[in-house]
Amino acid sequence: MSLAGHPVDLAPLTARGQASFARRARWSLPEIAFWLIAVATVFLLPSKHLILTEITILGLFALSLDLILGYAGIVSLGHAAFFGFGAYVAGLLAKYGIVKEPVLALVVSGLAATVLGFVTSFLVLRGSDLTRLMVTLGVALVLREIANQLDITGGADGLQGIVMEPVLGHFAFDIFGKTAYVYSLITLFILFVLARRIVNSPFGLSLRSVHDNPLRASAIGIHVNGRLVAIYTVAAGYAGIAGALLTQSTQFASLSVLDFERSADVLLMLIIGGTGYLYGGLIGAILFKLVQDYLASVTPQYWQFWLGLALVMMIMFGRFYGAIIAAVIFGVCTVLQLNFLHSILVTIALVLVLGIARPRILPFTANITERANSLQRSIRARLGRKAGAANASGA
């Protein structure tokens, strides 16, 4: 019955509604390609396995932050608390032979971080973004100091003398890092699929509603705090597993796993890659690590200067164009073989010009984006028509 009193056949609407949900959950081509490429790197880039392992672990860490920031809107400057906790637990389990098999130890470390996440989740329920930043930062600082002071964690020297048993009793960690990479990648994929399921579930939808409007979410019967506790706990477990992977693959855990810088870096990675679609953390980790690695090899003394420039440009001109502009400035300075002082002067001059010209540049870039979007739409429409025709002829 509609308001006007006409009976309406709801079956087609129901089908349309179900289809719209199904579309959201379906694996798209770029997604499948992403994972195929990841698998290909195992075989095609054997000399890069160490950095790929690191990227995989950071990607998992950023993915866990996306679960709370991108989906529930909880900002954190202390996500390293869970990463570091998992890292130390994994180290202690291996060093003292409590749990020798790595996969089981990984699960135990993840569970330990999950418990820590559950306990500390109640601290982030109240207050504004600012209080959340302070509280999360505080928890990470406290944990770092505990690790620094305790004898069992090795203090400032870190946890040394960790020897890893073979994964599942069969696959020994090798010096080329192949086992570590495959092991990390499989762990990431399993946890990614689980996260994907969670965010596409009714629970995940309710998280998005809580993020969007907590007042209304509670007014339709959603227990807002319960949802926040749940996702914060899960995300802590994810971060703990990432930390444990780092310890297991490097056979070492130091205070750096709990550093403020680690929390800040993971936030940067996620923001570079974009929040709220799960791949942002992974893409951000890849870009962050590759750019960092490249810049550190080209300009070892001041690579952070370029990273900082990229971030500022991305804020000023959007993620995509900002990155391009920063890359162009870097390219100009590199091609001209300028020294550090000249690079700074040229960059500052260019940034000033760009800043002043920003009102003119933004419509220009918006125009390009609009054209790219309409091109994409027309290609998609053409593909859709072909697929539709194929389906029709098939039926």
Partner 1 sequence: MPPALETKGLEKSFGGIVATDNVSLAVQKGARHALIGPNGAGKTTLINLLTGVLRPSAGRIFLDGRDITGLQPHQRVGLGIARTFQINQLFAKLTPLETIGLAVSERMELGRQWWRLTGSKAIVIEESVEILSRFNLADVMTDPTATLPYGKQRLLEIALAIACRPHVLLLDEPAAGVPEAERHGILDAVAALPSDVTVLLIEHDMDIVFSFADRISVLVNGALFVEGAPDAVAADPRVKAVYLGEEAHA
Question: Considering beta carbons, is residue 171 or 203 the nearer one to partner 1?
Answer: 203
The dihedrals phi and psi of 171, each to the nearest 5 degrees, come to -100, 100
The smaller minimum CB distance to partner 1, of residues 173 and 232, is found at 232
Interacting residues with partner 1 between 19 and 58 (CB under 8 A): 20-22, 24-25
Partner residues linked to 253 by β-bridges = 159
How far is it, in rounded angstroms, from Cα 340 to Cα 126?
Answer: 46
Q: Does 275 bind partner 1 (CB under 8 A)?
A: no
> Does residue 373 bind partner 1 (CB under 8 A)?
no
Q: 15 by DSSP, 3-state: which? A: helix
How far, in Å, CA of 186 to CA of 115, rounded? 24
List the one residue from 36, 130, 175, 215 that touches partner 1 (CB under 8 A).
215
State how far the Cα of 75 lies from the Cα of 93, in Å rounded to an integer: 31
- Tell me which DSSP letter residue 253 carries: B
Q: Which of 59, 39, 60 is nearest to 285 (CA)?
A: 59
Residue type, 192: F
Query: Taking CB under 8 A as the rule, does residue 380 contact partner 1?
Result: no
Stretch that binds partner 1, among 157-165, 194-202, 261-269, 332-340 (CB under 8 A): 194-202
C-beta atoms surrounding 174 within 10 Å: 10
d(CA 115, CA 61) in angstroms, rounded, equals 17
The encoded tokens of residue 96 equal 């003292």
Residue 209 makes contact with partner 1 by CB under 8 A: yes
d(CA 109, CA 208): 28
Residue 31 or 101 having the CB closest to partner 1: 31
* Minimum CB distance to partner 1, residue 17 (Å): 5
- Single out the residue of 118, 203, 302, 305 in contact with partner 1 (rule: CB under 8 A): 203
Count of residues engaged in binding partner 1, rule: CB under 8 A: 40
242 close to 61: Cβ distance less than 8 angstroms: yes
Only one of the segments 27-35, 43-51, 69-77, 218-226 lies at the binding site for partner 1 (rule: CB under 8 A); that segment is: 218-226
Binder among 17, 46, 384, 388 for partner 1 (CB under 8 A): 17
Task: List the one residue from 98, 127, 216, 367 that touches partner 1 (CB under 8 A).
Answer: 216
* Cβ atoms of 74 and 68 closer than 8 Å: yes
CA distance 225 to 46: 46
User: Which of 56, 109, 121, 206 is in the footprint of partner 1 by CB under 8 A?
Assistant: 206
Shortest approach of partner 1 to residue 291 CB, angstroms? Answer: 30
Helical axes 260-273 vs 80-95, angle rounded to 10°: 120
Q: Is 237 in the site for partner 1 (CB under 8 A)?
A: no
Q: Which of 52, 89, 147, 224 binds partner 1 (CB under 8 A)?
A: 224
Report the nearest approach of partner 1 to the CB of residue 15 (Å).
9
Distance of CA 7 to the CA centre of its chain: 48
Nearest approach in angstroms of CB 71 to partner 1 is: 11
Dist. CA 260–CA 33, nearest whole Å? 34
Task: Give the shortest CB-261-to-partner 1 separation in angstroms.
Answer: 32
**Would you state the structure tokens that stand for residue 112, as one six-digit string?**
């330990």
Residue nearer to partner 1 on the CB measure, 202 or 394: 202
Q: Is 3 in the site for partner 1 (CB under 8 A)?
A: yes
Confirm or reject binding of residue 219 to partner 1 (CB under 8 A): yes
Contacts to partner 1 by CB under 8 A: 1-3, 8, 10, 13-14, 16-18, 20-22, 24-25, 197-198, 200-206, 208-209, 212-213, 215-224, 226, 230
